[in-house]
Structure 1
Amino acid sequence: MNSQSIDYKELLFAFQQGAIQLINGKQELNQINVFPVSDGDTGSNLASLMQTILEETKDEAFSVEDVLEKIADASLIGARGNSGIIFAQYFNGIYNNLLLQEEKNSVTSFVKSVKLAISEAYQAISNPVEGTIITVIRTWAEALNENEQVHGLEKLLPKALIEAEHALKNTTKQLKVLQRNQVVDAGAKGFYIFIEGFTQAFVNKQTAIKSNIDSNGSIKLEVSEALHPNTSEPKFRYCTEVLLDQVTLSKEEILEELNAYGDSLIVAVNRKKARIHIHSNQPDQVLSYLSTIGQPVQQKADDMLLQYQVNTHKKSSIALVTDSVADLPAEYVLNNQIHVLPMNILIGNTSYIDKITIQSHQFFKLDKNHSGRATSSQPTLKTVENLFSFLETKYEAILVITVAGKLSGTLHTVKEVAKRVTSAGTRIEVIDSKQNSAAQGLLIMRANEWIQSGLSFDEIVAKVKKKRSQFKILVSVDNLDPMIDSGRIPQFVGKIAKKINVKPVVSLNEEGEGKLSNFAFSLEGNEKKIIHELKKITEKNKIKRYAVIHANAEERAISWKNKLTKQFGFEPNFMMAISTVVAMSAGQGSVAVAIEIEESGN
């Protein structure tokens, strides 16, 4: 091969065309996705990566090196899923190896870098499996190098594409799960589709592939309805991904440390940035460790076990959705296939996923060591869109019950996404619970019972709207500062209470706004006030169920549980630590009781 130069504009165009080709093929990839788990999102994950590459390469490039640097950086930012992170490491490997070449814009240097990057792609995977994307990458790169007598990428690439196609078809024979389902590997096909578009760009020059990207530049992350019958329950629950900056360890060191936390581990590292993918039951511990070796920039944790259960034995035709403000035992949520939109917690420069990558007890430790005030935010539009995209393919209707609209913007966000839903066959109802925490959780339990009993969607919606006023939460607060800072209670009222050093009882009014409902000069007196108020309620109404929750105050919660069990004659439906986002406003040491009042006819 001679030292023919690559036109950097043609190279950039080829990467962009490969990205568009892959985006166009995302639905097919979702449908054949069975390895390592059948979660129907390989196409969506790779499309998200390619969208990031398109966005990050809009500005003009000035050399082959510049093009590959942009691609490398974009791929680390946008990588999602097993195949996406392997893609990212491979692209970064090509860039890293090009930097070692003398002639950085020659075909020879590019082809050599493509081959040398194979080892980096393999090293990113804790347990490389042949018959997947890695096999097709290797076959393609080696084929490019084997045809060194051919001059020019426009002639060299088509020959390598043929070899890659043979390797892709052979993946069906290499993995039993692919053979049983008679499909090729989804990640491998994703890479093939990309290099097909990449190749066509060099062969056809400036003839652009027609894009299926929306006019606003966004991609709807569809999830396939197809379920392959021979897939098995995932060993680990959460598909966890983290983007790190300022990384202090090597790829090999990170792989070694994270191996104990799960499987399907892939780590892509370049220039102090790292993208980590792992299937784990302990995403909070994964993030806790990663925070010690870098600065988390992005994170994601998909509940693969819940998705699997919905795919294999869905309990109802109606999806029940809430947000992570609703306090419910994790086991109940999973067993009843309740879908939860997680709130986001920002501590310093790190954003955490409520109840998944951070628990309330961890929050208090982190918050204590951080000088600034932690903040929270509702689920992003993209998070809601992704969930609805999945639910639309599985359910006839979707019922969303959010935290009180007076306390959070979640209600508005979900309603905005619901308006955009294009599936004519899926009904969506978004209801303001006018509650929070365990009171919201108890309302979700009641809605779930109505769903499981077979009531119609309209009947359930009407009952939830009528019933939501019959829940109440009473919170014994030790320190008012968090509630004042978060706006859960009016500042002027809070400041007066602080000035006279009282311990308030905090509740919600009929519209879901925080209010101070009583006062005492000690926590013991505070507790007596709450128990007395509950006695007054039981004189007129029956308590159907209740729950006790706490913010890092388990001993007090147990004491409350014992006293209330004696008073009501039955144990609480659950006792648990509150969600992190509620802990932020309730403050450490808070204990609360939530009740459902049973009136005649309910």
Structure 2
Amino acid sequence: MTSQSIDYQELLFAFRQGAIQLINEKQELNQINVFPVSDGDTGSNLASLMETILEETNDESTSVIEVFENIAEASLLGARGNSGIIFAQYFNGIYNNLLLQEEKSSVKSFVTSVKLAISEAYQAIENPVEGTIITVIRSWAEALNKGDQIHSLENLLPQALIETKQALDNTTRQLKILQKNQVVDAGAKGFYLFIEGFTKAFINKQAVDKPRERLNESVKIEISETLHRNSSEPKYRYCTEILIDQVTQTKEAIQTKLSAYGDSLIVSINRGKARIHIHSNQPDQVLDYLNTVGQPIQQKVDDMLLQYRVNTQKRAPIALVTDSIADLPADYVLDNQIHVLPMNILIGNTSYIDKITIQSNQFFELNKKQSERATSSQPTLKTVKNLFSFLETKYEAILVITVAGKLSGTFYTVKEAAKHISSPNTRIEVIDSKQNSAAQGLLVMCANEWIQSGIGFTELVERTRHKRSQLKILVSVDDLNPMIDSGRIPQFAGKIAKKVNLKPIVSLNEAGEGTLSAFTFSLEGNEKKIIKQLKKMHKSSTIKRYAVIHANSEKRALVWKNELIKHLGFQPSYIMDISTVIAMSAGQGSVAVAVELGEGADLI
């Protein structure tokens, strides 16, 4: 065997061209994605990985080992989905094995490392399935290692690419679901596309193509209905991915513990970081455990069940979107196919996903252990763009109802993302609810009922805008500190009320700003004033429906419910915990009532 060296600049160039080749074909990968779940996002996930590699390898490398180190680190940070994490583990495996080689820049060391790394890729998967990306990776590595003589990568790569293509084509015969849909495995094809671009660039020394889309643009998800019509409903609802740092447990220990929470488990660990992928109904419990073995630094959760139902049994031609501050029962949201943009909560060094990886009752326990105040942030622009990219392929129009613009930047983020809707036939409207919590939830409920009744989009938007003025939320708060600290109520008035121990009713004005009124000296007096206001509203304009919400204070909320039934004469539409973001500002023990009034409402 020769010890011919690899030019590190040519190697990096080939890696980057392979990444671009895959990014350019991500839509096709989404279309053929039927295994393990028909969620149509394999291309999007692999494109996200490749975009991260491109972003993280802009700086000049000075050696082959440095190229692989940067690729390995970037892939661990950018990996998403089953195939993405296997990809990342394989790249990390190549780097780890290359470190053990005497000649780290030789062709011999490279081909040896790509073969040895196969075992690490397999180890990342709880139950390896042949006929997927892992099979094609193995075929490529073994093809490079055939024969006793290793001359140059220019001689080895073309034949290896041919054998990789054969392995890819064979995946259709290896898995029944692929054979039924007459497609190759999407992850396997993603790896082949990368290797194809890598090979052509390394041999020809020319760029294979330019990226057809800007980096960080929304990743368009296009799913073929005909390909997916035979897919079954997913057993587990959430595709959960978490990146943790400072890992203290072995891969085997983490796999053993997490296997009880779902399936499709993949654990990739390198240099103190771990990328976890699992399909689960309990993403909050998955994160609870991972908090004990390391520091979570990234999270991503996709609602596979909602995506499946939209793909197979869409309820209406208009998509309804809100954010997680809108308090609505989880079953109602799923059953009515309402799409929710999650807010983010930072507690200590960990960022959580509202109502997914953290619930409000968990928040209060976690927050007790922190010296710094927890903070929240609106969904990222990329998150919103990605959702719109999916929705515009499924719906004729999209209505978004956000939390009050005076309370959050969500409205403006969504408005910006809406500019990037690419389909000229998809109408979109973003409405500032000028409400929050259950009042926002009741507005979403009204809009959903109108959508289900079949009204046109223009009338839907008009009704929704008009309905905003007929909603009201009244909040009883024991401790004003959280609202003062978060800026949800006027600082001056809040501090005065706190100083003399007054218990005000907290609400929102017509612009969606926090206000204080009806000051009392006790919670009991505060509650009586709220009941009195609601009775007056009901008498003047009729309360059509109402909801009771609370911040980890179910007992107090149930007392309110009984009082309201007695005075209003009917049951609340729902009673539930408030969102974590609202819990942060309302404080533990808070209880609120949101009402929808009829025409001619006197909101007081």
Shift of 1:599: 2.1
After superposition, the C-alpha distances for 1:482-513 in whole angstroms (9 at most, x for unaligned) are 00011111111001101111111101111111
Letter in 2 for 1:310: V
Letter in 1 for 2:222: S
Shift of 1:217: 3.3
Residue of structure 1 in register with 2:319 after alignment: 319
Letter in 2 for 1:79: A
Letter in 2 for 1:238: Y
After superposition, the C-alpha distances for 1:56-79 in whole angstroms (9 at most, x for unaligned) are 111111111100000000000000
Cα separation, 2, equivalents of 1:386 and 1:420: 10
Shift of 1:568: 1.3
Cα separation, 1, equivalents of 2:358 and 2:364: 10
Residue of structure 2 in register with 1:224 after alignment: 222
Shift of 1:563: 1.0
Shift of 1:226: 1.0
Partner SS state of residue 546, structure 1: strand
Residue of structure 1 in register with 2:262 after alignment: 262
Cα separation, 1, equivalents of 2:202 and 2:211: 21
Residue of structure 1 in register with 2:363 after alignment: 363
Letter in 1 for 2:210: S
Shift of 1:124: 0.2
Cα separation, 2, equivalents of 1:97 and 1:150: 18
Residue of structure 2 in register with 1:7 after alignment: 7
Residue of structure 2 in register with 1:134 after alignment: 134
1:483 and 2:483 are equivalent in the alignment: yes
Residue of structure 1 in register with 2:208 after alignment: 209
Residue of structure 2 in register with 1:518 after alignment: 518
Letter in 2 for 1:109: S
Q: Is the 8 A contact 1:213 1:219 kept in 2?
A: no
Cα separation, 2, equivalents of 1:370 and 1:341: 26
Shift of 1:150: 4.3
Letter in 1 for 2:470: Q
Letter in 2 for 1:294: G
Pairing 1:289-304 to 2, within 5 Å after superposition: 289-304=289-304
Cα separation, 1, equivalents of 2:376 and 2:418: 22
Cα separation, 1, equivalents of 2:212 and 2:477: 51
Shift of 1:197: 0.9
Cα separation, 2, equivalents of 1:279 and 1:380: 23
Shift of 1:21: 0.7
Partner SS state of residue 592, structure 1: strand
Q: Is the 8 A contact 1:225 1:394 kept in 2?
A: no
Q: Is the 8 A contact 2:551 2:591 kept in 1?
A: yes
Cα separation, 1, equivalents of 2:250 and 2:431: 48
Shift of 1:330: 0.3
Shift of 1:149: 2.2
Partner SS state of residue 131, structure 2: coil
Partner SS state of residue 138, structure 1: helix
Cα separation, 1, equivalents of 2:272 and 2:513: 45
Q: Is the 8 A contact 2:108 2:150 kept in 1?
A: no
Residue of structure 1 in register with 2:535 after alignment: 535
Query: Could you tell which deviates more after superposition, 341-350 or 223-232?
Result: 223-232
1:167 and 2:167 are equivalent in the alignment: yes
Shift of 1:25: 1.0
Cα separation, 2, equivalents of 1:218 and 1:76: 17
Cα separation, 2, equivalents of 1:441 and 1:323: 10
Residue of structure 1 in register with 2:100 after alignment: 100
Q: Is the 8 A contact 2:435 2:508 kept in 1?
A: yes
State the superposition RMSD in angstroms.
Answer: 1.1
Shift of 1:348: 1.2
Partner SS state of residue 545, structure 2: strand
Letter in 2 for 1:525: G
Cα separation, 1, equivalents of 2:568 and 2:175: 58
Letter in 1 for 2:215: G
Partner SS state of residue 61, structure 1: coil
Pairing 1:191-202 to 2, within 5 Å after superposition: 191-202=191-202
Q: Is the 8 A contact 2:535 2:568 kept in 1?
A: no
Residue of structure 2 in register with 1:64 after alignment: 64
Partner SS state of residue 146, structure 1: coil
Q: Is the 8 A contact 2:172 2:185 kept in 1?
A: yes
Q: Is the 8 A contact 2:363 2:580 kept in 1?
A: yes
Q: Is the 8 A contact 1:115 1:141 kept in 2?
A: yes
After superposition, the C-alpha distances for 1:7-59 in whole angstroms (9 at most, x for unaligned) are 11111111111101111111110110000111111111101100100111111
Cα separation, 1, equivalents of 2:584 and 2:216: 34
Residue of structure 2 in register with 1:152 after alignment: 152
Cα separation, 2, equivalents of 1:148 and 1:300: 45
Letter in 1 for 2:208: I
Cα separation, 2, equivalents of 1:147 and 1:195: 21
Letter in 1 for 2:143: A
Letter in 1 for 2:437: S
Shift of 1:290: 0.8
Q: Is the 8 A contact 1:326 1:441 kept in 2?
A: yes
Letter in 2 for 1:384: V
Letter in 2 for 1:211: K
Shift of 1:526: 1.0
After superposition, the C-alpha distances for 1:557-585 in whole angstroms (9 at most, x for unaligned) are 01111111121111110000000000000
Cα separation, 2, equivalents of 1:220 and 1:420: 8
Residue of structure 2 in register with 1:493 after alignment: 493
Cα separation, 2, equivalents of 1:422 and 1:35: 28
Residue of structure 2 in register with 1:557 after alignment: 557
Q: Which runs of 5+ in 1 are unaligned?
A: none
Cα separation, 1, equivalents of 2:595 and 2:295: 41
Cα separation, 2, equivalents of 1:344 and 1:359: 12
Residue of structure 2 in register with 1:452 after alignment: 452
Count of equivalent residues:
599
Cα separation, 2, equivalents of 1:209 and 1:176: 34
Shift of 1:213: 4.1
1:187 and 2:187 are equivalent in the alignment: yes
Cα separation, 1, equivalents of 2:409 and 2:436: 13
Partner SS state of residue 69, structure 1: helix
Cα separation, 2, equivalents of 1:408 and 1:202: 49
The ranges of structure 1 where at least 4 consecutive aligned residues each deviate by more than 2 angstroms after the TM superposition are 147-150, 216-220
Cα separation, 1, equivalents of 2:322 and 2:416: 16
Cα separation, 2, equivalents of 1:591 and 1:492: 23
Q: Is the 8 A contact 1:259 1:265 kept in 2?
A: yes
Partner SS state of residue 140, structure 2: helix
Partner SS state of residue 552, structure 1: coil
Cα separation, 1, equivalents of 2:8 and 2:153: 12
Q: Is the 8 A contact 2:217 2:382 kept in 1?
A: no
Cα separation, 1, equivalents of 2:170 and 2:566: 67
Pairing 1:402-441 to 2, within 5 Å after superposition: 402-441=402-441
1:395 and 2:395 are equivalent in the alignment: yes
Cα separation, 2, equivalents of 1:77 and 1:272: 12
Q: Is the 8 A contact 1:47 1:219 kept in 2?
A: no
Shift of 1:212: 2.4
Query: Could you tell which deviates more after superposition, 249-258 or 392-401?
Result: 249-258
Q: Is the 8 A contact 1:147 1:156 kept in 2?
A: no
Tell me the TM-score normalized by structure 1: 0.98
Letter in 1 for 2:59: D
Query: Could you tell which deviates more after superposition, 467-476 or 562-571?
Result: 562-571
Partner SS state of residue 221, structure 1: coil
